[in-house]
Structure 1
């Protein structure tokens, strides 16, 4: 199985999009971007018909790369425009029905970011400086430190002393079965992953509880879409509406040349979440042996989560939502 691409920039929609003057289903603004039925030339150039279709998981993006001389988890942090600059951008986008042609002053129009911030690899640069994408953002990353409460849920799924992360993936011996396991951070180097769980994006997968939160990392591209529909607007629309496999946030296609292409339910005017997500229809097994770890090397949040999961080592569950850490 070939290793699929990592998310290092905003991913284009598989269809050409247009701006409509109606409230967004996804963001707090008075316009929304919707798909037309015309396939994006970027997708055609990347030979999308031969691409690997994977489930788009609803969480927050992360990245594993070196920091302080060892593998580290990084959280997604896009450098965004100031309120005044963002207002100018939205007015232009609404009036022109496009964002092309808008001029940014990167030095003055964007908010400050931490010194440790790095731009995502595929961000375009001019004169050695990263420049905004068509959405007005500069995608980037900051290292996850256990002392930073803003990223406490990120920190709960990784131990830098043990150099492991909690990962959700298909079980190697049975692709129909999901597995929650500790994975060496070194094995995840230069990969991007999605953090999902109790306190991320409204928890559409019903993981954990407020008192006993549960979060895991899902490597991008790891959940293949079987029998994916062809890239035709109406067929994709019907698949999302009528098929159990279509109860997902979206699809990300991994093309042979490394290009990533996506479609989100919102692009097609469809609600998300909508009923029980397909991810919750799959059984899951936990492989977590605390004997592998030095208890003194784990922070409270890491120790609590690893200990809680280790009590279920080898246990099978019918669904992710059935994993109750207080049981």
Structure 2
């Protein structure tokens, strides 16, 4: 399909219309029905074919190799018709999931079941000698670390004899419920009001095309969605939210921050866009294809730095829309109460959000 033939396509996800410029064979209106945008349950493949270089990773300090993109588009992307996909911002945080736990909507944290050190060594040795993970045999009962009893595997994890088995990276993706007193997930807990079963969500503003809003959203409205937790104490805080004294965290639904006028899926044009366009000050792009599949590219795939100065998300204006401390959030945790005192307040940039001392 030619990349220069465009038409306006309306995508409906959860009864919300999305309008974007996409390629099609003729200038007609097309309706693409997607069950849900942005469900990130598995590792997302790169939009390009990749190769491994034996040099220190730009993304992980202790990793002595890095995965980089070639200039060849991944056949998976072509099969999913990536030229007609919805381009959204790849956010730099930690992945979360909302589903039922103990009979009510609940926030879950990402917890992949990983191999023991000995099993990891065997797996990496096999990879080096065969230049592939194919043919490696796992003993799932013995080779993997224990996980909490409430842990569940992610959607589409393959099973053998009733047991989940690892993916090609040697991990079993999964989720664990965020419990109130678990210090490991204290920043997850900070965005929750358990009394009213709601979460603090950062999302595009309904009345400002360029703006964002922080809103208290019932977890029931987020059921079966995946979201990204971003903020002061997550992944080095590239969006400059809050401070050590006053940490600020929030959830962002995957697929909610779309990229207007994205570049075509072309290696050189994407490199130029990331380096030269104000809209390219993002960690990466995730394309949501009409068949429900996802593909991505991030700056490290293209040998580009991240973070690299101010971010596109951080430069957008934001308004706070969280109910007053005197009403439904009166019994909430500190972050909810702090935001409720700013209800209706507008900030010119995301990092400008500050609470009274």
User: Which TM bucket (shorter chain)?
Assistant: over 0.9
Going from structure 1 to structure 2, the CA distance change for 1:47 and 1:74 (only over 3 Å counts) comes to same
1:147 aligns with 2:177: no
- Separation of aligned partners in 2, 1:285 and 1:128: 48
- Tell whether 2:152 aligns with 1:102: no
* Structure 2 residue matching 1:141: 3-state secondary structure: strand
**TM-score (structure 1 length as normaliser):** 0.95
> What is the aligned-residue RMSD (CA, Å)?
1.3
For structure 1, list consecutive stretches of 5 or more residues without a partner in the other structure: none
1:31 counterpart residue number: 65
What residue in structure 1 maps to residue 194 of structure 2? 160
Counterpart contact for 1:230–1:236, Cα < 8 Å: yes
Q: Is the 8 A contact 1:72 1:160 kept in 2?
A: no
Q: How far apart in 2 are the matches of 1:147 and 1:236? A: 44
Q: Which runs of 5+ in 2 are unaligned?
A: 1-11, 14-35
Q: Is the contact between residue 166 and residue 216 of structure 1 (CA under 8 Å) also seen in structure 2?
A: yes
Q: Normalized per residue, which structure has more helix?
A: 1
Match of 2:336 among 294, 298, 306: 306
Post-superposition CA distance 1:98-133 (Å, at most 9, x none): 333322221111110000000001212222211111
- Is 1:234 paired with 2:268? yes
Q: CA deviation at 1:232?
A: 0.9
Mapped contact 1:63–1:73 kept (Cα < 8 A): yes
Show the counterpart of 2:227: 193
Query: Helix, strand or coil: the match of 1:17?
Result: strand
Q: Alignment length, in residue pairs?
A: 322
Is 1:54 the counterpart of 2:84? The answer is: no
CA distance in 2, matches of 1:180, 1:295: 18
1:211 maps onto 2:245 in alignment: yes
Q: Tell me: higher relative CO, structure 1 or 2? Use CA pairs within 8 A at least 6 residues apart.
A: 1
CA contact (8 A) 2:330 2:337 kept: no
Match of 1:293 in 2: 328
| Equivalent residue number for residue 15 of structure 1 | 48
Q: For residue 291 of structure 1, report the CA deviation from its aligned partner.
A: 3.7
Instruction: Supply the distance in 2 between the matched residues of 1:234 and 1:225 (Cα, whole angstroms).
Output: 18
TM-score of the two chains, using structure 2 as the length reference: 0.88
Partners of 1:72 and 1:306 lie apart in 2 by 17
> Aligned to 2:233, what secondary structure does the other structure show?
coil
Q: Distance in 1 between matches of 2:150 and 2:136?
A: 29
Q: Is the 8 A contact 2:329 2:337 kept in 1?
A: no
Matched residue, 1:221: 255
Q: Does 1:253 align with 2:283?
A: no
SS of residue in 2 equivalent to 1:183: strand
